[in-house]
Amino acid sequence: MANYYIDTHAHLYREYYPENLREVIQRAVDAHVEKVLLACVDVQTPPMIAEAVEMFPENVYGLIGLHPSDVKEDYEEQLAELESHIEDRNIVGIGEIGLDYYHDRDFEQEQQIVFQRQLNWAHDRKLPLSLHIRNGYSEAIPILSQYATGSLRGVLHCFSGGIQEAEWAAKHGFAIGIGGIVTFKNSKLQELVPQIGLEHIVLETDAPYLAPTPHRGTPNESSYIPLIARKIAEILNVSVKEVMERTSENAMRIFFN
């Protein structure tokens, strides 16, 4: 049984922690968060992932992908550069990719093209996914369903859907990423977690964003993962150890199998 935590989605880069990146990662390790996956958002990210991996090669792993909100006119150039990094050290998946129509739909068609292109990367290389879907489930699920043969696996990062989307995910080999939002007062995740079930949940922080209570409003860190686990344990009336073990086993199966 896994006697450690895994943060399946974070952004621990020098850009966000200019003076204390090493200390932030060390605090995570000291909190028994033994693996941290760093999501990619654009062509500026891979060098920053590489720096963190170099610092903690036994603990830090990377993903490669173009975030939907970063899809602009130059998406072809961005995709070409990002694809060249898939073989970089400690890269274990594709992400964060998906559809985000929360702020605008100016690049709606381009987002869908980019999403499908990166799904093909994952399919062809048998790599897992970290999916960012915001106000776009009705468009994303039909695209993902084209791969419904079980060839794709991954995580719905920072889950914002309802029980129907969660059930679709579980049926098609995707886990639900639960982060600090679950600790917020009146979070709908507190009602969804029992319906989702521990067998379909992985932990994440999305650091430096979305710090859990009591750190809300301050920079998030992977060392706060135990706070998220504690809240899930409270909701499900199980031990924190069980949450740690089950979620880490889920993450290992998806990203390190």
Share of the chain above pLDDT 70, in %: 99
Q: Please say if the pLDDT value at position 35 is more than 80.
A: yes
pLDDT value of residue 7: 98
Confidence of residue 249 (pLDDT cuts 50, 70, 90): very high
pLDDT in tens, 37-62: 999 999 999 999 999 999 999 999 99
Instruction: Tell me what the pLDDT averaged over the chain comes to.
Output: 96
104 confidence band (pLDDT: 50, 70, 90): confident
6 forms bridges with which residues in the sheet?
Answer: 35
Q: How many domains does one find in the chain? A: 1
Closest CA to 92 of 16, 47, 153, 162: 153
Distance CA 85, CA 29 (A): 26
* pLDDT tens-place string over residues 77-96: 999 999 999 999 999 999 99
Q: What are phi and psi of 107, to 5 degrees?
A: -120, 40
Per-residue confidence (pLDDT) for residue 117, from 0 to 100? 97
- Which residue would you say has higher pLDDT here, 178 or 151? 178
pLDDT of residue 148: 67
Span 62-81, pLDDT tens digits: 999 999 999 999 999 999 99
Average confidence (pLDDT) over 221-235? 98
| Ramachandran region, residue 217 (left: φ > 0; alpha: ψ -120 to 50; beta: rest) | left
Say what the pLDDT of residue 184 is: 97
Confidence class of residue 103 from pLDDT cuts 50, 70 and 90?
confident
CA distance 50 to 30: 21
Q: Is it the case that residue 10 has pLDDT exceeding 70? A: yes
Other Cβ atoms closer than 10 A to 155: 29
Domain with 202 in it: what CATH number? 3.20.20.140
Q: For residue 253, how many other CB atoms are within 10 A of its CB? A: 14
pLDDT reading at 150 higher than 70: no
Question: 37 is written with which tokens?
Answer: 């996956």
Average the pLDDT over each of 10-19, 23-32, 103-112, 187-196 and give the range with the smallest value.
103-112
- Which long-range contacts link 41-45 to residues 24+ away (Cβ below 8 Å)? 41/11, 41/65, 41/66, 41/67, 41/70, 41/96, 42/66, 42/67, 42/70, 42/78, 42/82, 43/78, 43/81, 43/82, 45/13
Peptide bond into 96 cis (omega under 30): yes
SS percent in the chain: helix, strand, coil, step 5: 45, 15, 40
Return the H-helix or E-strand segment holding 174: strand 174-178
Q: Which residues span the domain enclosing 225?
A: 5-255
Q: What gap in Å lies between CA 200 and CA 155, rounded to an integer? A: 9
d(CA 130, CA 94): 6
Question: Does 252 have pLDDT greater than 80?
Answer: yes
For residues 157 and 9, the answer to whether their CB atoms sit within 8 Å is yes
